[in-house]
A and B are shown apart, each in its own frame.
Chain A
Amino acid sequence: MSRNARRVFGGVTLVLLAITAVLALWVSPADKEQGDAMRLLYLHVPTAWLAYLAFFVTALASALWLWPRTRSTTWDLLAGASAEVGVLFTGLMLMLGSLWGRPIWGTWWEWDARLTTTAVLFFLYLGYLALRRTADTSEQRGKRCAIAALIAFADVPIVHFSVNWWQTLHQTGTVFNPKLDVQIHGTMAVTLLLSVLSFTMLYVCLTLSRLRLAELEEGREQRELELAIAERIAAEHPEPAVTV
């Protein structure tokens, strides 16, 4: 994306986010049962969707990096950028869910299958990011990060399955029913949809910016070295003055 296109895209994203905020906070009505707490869902749902999308992109980019024909540094950097944004959104999702759960379920945390899986997901990718930080360049990171990303991604369904099973075999007795499928009011539906759209655009913005930053970091040392060599050569062999 060119610089201008990025700016326009970022601007549109900001405007949409602002509209979403107005719709979510003032225009859409409070929920009949949940009251104003329901408004948190306008943030919670998009962050959840983006967390999964981000980790999917990480896995896909890692696979593309591992595949010899499509190997390119960009894929490795994209995997890292997307995972960072994904961890951010996963953390937000857990926090927002917790804030919502306190008034609605009466508890900050419930050992429900989805919550538990998400918490494990968060730690899996924290580990992945920690692994990425052990090396400065894509060359050094190489296979271990790509393989670790794929293993983490493959582990998620198994974790979800086992946790789900744990909860069905050992019912804790708490009535947990998020009932998101209750009829959603017209304005509410529009707000949620717009929220998902604007946050997805935000994800694209953040990931692209992070990717650009990573690309700049990646070449920095090499460029600094070349610059230093050029300076040294220029100092030792001064160019003859150009005569017109």
Chain B
Amino acid sequence: MSILREARLVAAKDLRIERRSRVALQQIVPFGVIVLVLFAFAIDPDRGLLPRLAPGLFWAALLLASILAVNRSFAVEEANGARDGLRLSGLDGAAIFLGKAAAIAAELALLELVLGVGVIVLYDVTPRNALVLFLTAVAATIALAATGTVYGIVAAGLRVRETLVPLLVLPAVTPVMLGATRAFESALGGVPSEAWPWVQLLGACAVLSVIVGVLAFGPLLEES
């Protein structure tokens, strides 16, 4: 079996669990939307600040929700020795990484769509430069999902996993948060051409985090 086919199997497994349990749809997505609403409470909506701050708030909400997605992705393997099953399945470590990261990325993409509609409706944002927005979202999503998956397996099986994952992931994804926010700002209100360096930075982050995951996931899974 090729690595990609194995990865598809793992991703399909994770997404099937999410489709049946509906945790992503009924808990993680609403959580993201609630964070958007909370931001509006924190910042007085009447002063016209919300549309200007929307890019940063969008990515902050997504980042917080992505922690839940990562924790969920590894929580489903805690019970019934499922991680042992995964370890003994003979699947390539890199393939398992790619599969789990792809499943998280798919959930994040869904969340981005919902949050995107959220900022348009709630924060009065007018979408512009769809291509920049799309490429930024793709690169940032891959980087977030891959980094989250790496730290997810680092913390897998630990009693403090759920509190440890945010502490590990959030500082590590600073460049993604910065890059995605600036790129969105440029696309929505500033000079669109200024977004490209940030999109490139996000692309580099995505590639690097995938490489790290492909190399490190196997050994980490054996250990967990």
Residues of A within 8 A of B (CB): 120, 123-124, 126-127, 130-131, 134, 142-144, 147-148, 151-152, 154-155, 158-159, 161-163, 165-166, 169-170
Known: A131-B164, A134-B164, A151-B150. A170 touches B182 (CB 8 A): yes
Q: Indicate if the CB atoms of A165 and B174 lie closer than 8 Å.
A: no
Known: A158-B205, A162-B179. A127 touches B224 (CB 8 A): no
Q: Indicate if the CB atoms of B223 and A144 lie closer than 8 Å.
A: yes
- For residue B195, give the distance in angstroms from its CB to the closest CB of chain A: 10
Known: A120-B174, A134-B159, A151-B150. A127 touches B219 (CB 8 A): no
List the A side residues contacting B104 at CB < 8 Å.
none
New A-B contacts (10) at CB < 8 Å, excluding given A123-B170, A130-B160, A144-B220: A131-B155, A131-B164, A131-B168, A143-B220, A144-B224, A148-B154, A148-B168, A155-B172, A158-B205, A165-B198
Chain A: CB-nearest residue to B215: A147
Measured in the bound complex, the distance between the Cα atoms of B171 and A113 in whole Å is: 15
Which of A123, A151, A159 makes the CB contact (< 8 A) with B167? A123
Q: Indicate if the CB atoms of B178 and A162 lie closer than 8 Å.
A: yes
Which of B155, B171, B197 makes the CB contact (< 8 A) with A124? B171
List the B side residues contacting A166 at CB < 8 Å.
178, 182
Is the C-beta of B37 less than 8 angstroms from some C-beta in chain A? no
Is the C-beta of B208 less than 8 angstroms from some C-beta in chain A? yes
Known: A126-B167, A127-B168, A131-B164. A147 touches B216 (CB 8 A): yes
Measured in the bound complex, the distance between the Cα atoms of B171 and A170 in whole Å is: 21
Q: Indicate if the CB atoms of B155 and A169 lie closer than 8 Å.
A: no
Q: Indicate if the CB atoms of A152 and B172 lie closer than 8 Å.
A: yes
Chain B: CB-nearest residue to A163: B178
Q: Indicate if the CB atoms of B212 and A151 lie closer than 8 Å.
A: yes
- For residue B184, give the distance in angstroms from its CB to the closest CB of chain A: 14
List the B side residues contacting A159 at CB < 8 Å.
171, 174-175
Measured in the bound complex, the distance between the Cα atoms of B163 and A134 in whole Å is: 12
List the A side residues contacting B212 at CB < 8 Å.
151, 154
**B interface residues, how many (CB within 8 angstroms):** 32
Is the C-beta of B158 less than 8 angstroms from some C-beta in chain A? yes
Q: Indicate if the CB atoms of A169 and B194 lie closer than 8 Å.
A: yes
List the B side residues contacting A158 at CB < 8 Å.
175, 204-205, 208
Please provide the chain B residues from 178 to 220 with a CB less than 8 Å away from any CB of chain A in the complex.
Answer: 178-179, 182, 194, 197-198, 201, 204-205, 208, 212, 216, 219-220
The 10 closest A-B pairs by CB, nearest first: A162-B175, A123-B171, A127-B167, A127-B168, A124-B171, A143-B223, A134-B158, A144-B154, A162-B178, A120-B174
Chain B: CB-nearest residue to A142: B223
List the B side residues contacting A127 at CB < 8 Å.
164, 167-168, 171
List the B side residues contacting A147 at CB < 8 Å.
154, 216, 219-220
Contact sample, A vs B, 24 pairs, CB 8 Å cutoff: A123-B170, A124-B171, A127-B164, A127-B168, A130-B168, A131-B168, A134-B159, A144-B154, A144-B220, A147-B154, A147-B216, A147-B220, A148-B151, A151-B150, A151-B212, A154-B212, A155-B171, A158-B205, A159-B174, A162-B174, A162-B178, A162-B179, A163-B175, A165-B197
Known: A130-B164, A131-B164. A163 touches B216 (CB 8 A): no
Known: A123-B167, A147-B216, A158-B205. A131 touches B172 (CB 8 A): no
List the A side residues contacting B220 at CB < 8 Å.
143-144, 147
Chain A: CB-nearest residue to B158: A134
- For residue A37, give the distance in angstroms from its CB to the closest CB of chain B: 30
